Amino acid sequence: MIHHDHDDHDHDQHDHDHKHAHAPPHKDHDTGPVGAYELLEEAVRSLLIEKGVLTAQEIAAQVDLMDSRSPALGAKVVAKAWVDADFKKRLLADTRSALAEVGIDIGTLADYRTVENVPGTHNVVVCTLCSCYPKLLLGIPPAWYKSLAYRSRVVVDPRGVLEEFGVELPEGTEVRVHDSTADLRYLVLPMRPKATRGWSEADLATLVTRDCMIGTAVPVVAKGKRRAA
């Protein structure tokens, strides 16, 4: 190691870095015994690499791609739909091409649909069968979205669940639950808050949280952020 300026140090660390074969990367939280699924994943992964089906680089690139996706991507799309009525129309009619317009490729594994919250209708998304989620637009889903509690309760008692999330809906609003049971992923297009007249697209995007696009939240303008119209 170049930064060592004296050599009376224990050199174990140095030797370790250079002589050991690189073991498969382990996660930081991996302090307990390896679970059956982790072993299975490791076995399948190394077989795929050994048999030349995939390369380690391809796997790493895919992990990087997934990591690059976050709710910020979806928020950008929502903010654009708020300021550009034509884009919103295209997003609702053909989500895939509208996303492509703004440089977002949602791949070929599943198609996407956008459901719009309007006065009188609030949409919320779930996957009761597993955990289908618009990953290529919102990134990795939160743990609660995959939990049995959310998946089983939001279809039976959506209003109770929304209340727990702190969502208050105006009187007379219909709650519409979307169970993503097939090859379609759902994005909720929330309503633009009233107090945002004249806001830039970038400022608007900051209001659009992940949960707003699942339907378990609605965009809120913090009191201090309100501006004169």
Partner 1 sequence: MVARQGKLQATAQSGSRFAPGEAVRVAERPALGHCRTPWYLRGKTGVVASVQGIFRNPERLAYHQPGLPKRVLYKVRFEQAAIWDDYRGHAGDHLEADIYEHWLEPGKAR
Question: Which active-site residues does the annotation give?
Answer: 127, 130-132
Closer residue to partner 1 in complex, CB, 146/159: 159
111 lies in the binding site for partner 1 (CB under 8 A):
yes
| DSSP for 28-89, written as a single string | TTTTSPPPHHHHHHHHHHHHHHHTTSS-HHHHHHHHHHHHH--HHHHHHHHHHHHH-HHHHH
Q: What is the dihedral of CA 97, 102, 108, 112, to 10 degrees?
A: -60
We find the least distance from the C-beta atom of residue 179 to partner 1, in angstroms, to be 4
Q: Of 4-12, 52-60, 155-163, 219-227, which part binds partner 1 (CB under 8 A)? A: 155-163
Q: Does 175 bind partner 1 (CB under 8 A)?
A: yes
Task: Give whichever of 79 and 91 is closer to partner 1, judged by the CB atom.
Answer: 91
Q: Which span (10-18, 70-78, 167-175, 206-214) binds partner 1, by CB under 8 A?
A: 167-175
Tell which residue, 94, 91, 65, has the closest CA to residue 79: 91
Residues 49-88 that bind partner 1 (CB under 8 A): none
Per CB under 8 A, 184 contacts partner 1: yes
107 binds partner 1 (CB under 8 A): no
Residue closer to partner 1 by CB (options 83, 169) is: 169
Q: Whose CA is closest to 75, among 227, 197, 211, 221?
A: 211
Nearer to partner 1, 189 or 207 (CB): 189
Under the binding rule (CB under 8 A), the answer on residue 156 touching partner 1 is yes
Site residue total, partner 1 (CB under 8 A): 22
Look at residue 145 and give its three-state secondary structure: helix
Identify the helix (H) or strand (E) that includes residue 115.
strand 111-116
Q: Please report, as a single letter, which amino acid is at residue 127.
A: C
Comparing CB distances to partner 1, the nearer of 21 and 156 is: 156
Binding partner 1 (rule: CB under 8 A), the pick from 74, 158, 190, 215 is 158
Q: Are 201 and 147 spatial neighbours (Cβ–Cβ below 8 Å)?
A: no
Q: Does 201 bind partner 1 (CB under 8 A)?
A: no
Cβ 58 to partner 1 shortest distance, Å: 21
Amino acid at 83: V
**Under the criterion CB under 8 A, does residue 181 sit at the interface with partner 1?**
yes
Burial of residue 4, with CB atoms counted within 10 A of its CB: 0-12 exposed, 13-18 middle, 19 or more buried: exposed
- Could you give the C-alpha distances from 25 to 30, 54, 108, in angstroms and in order? 10, 17, 29
User: Which residues are at the interface with partner 1 (CB under 8 A)?
Assistant: 111, 113, 128-129, 155-160, 172, 174-184
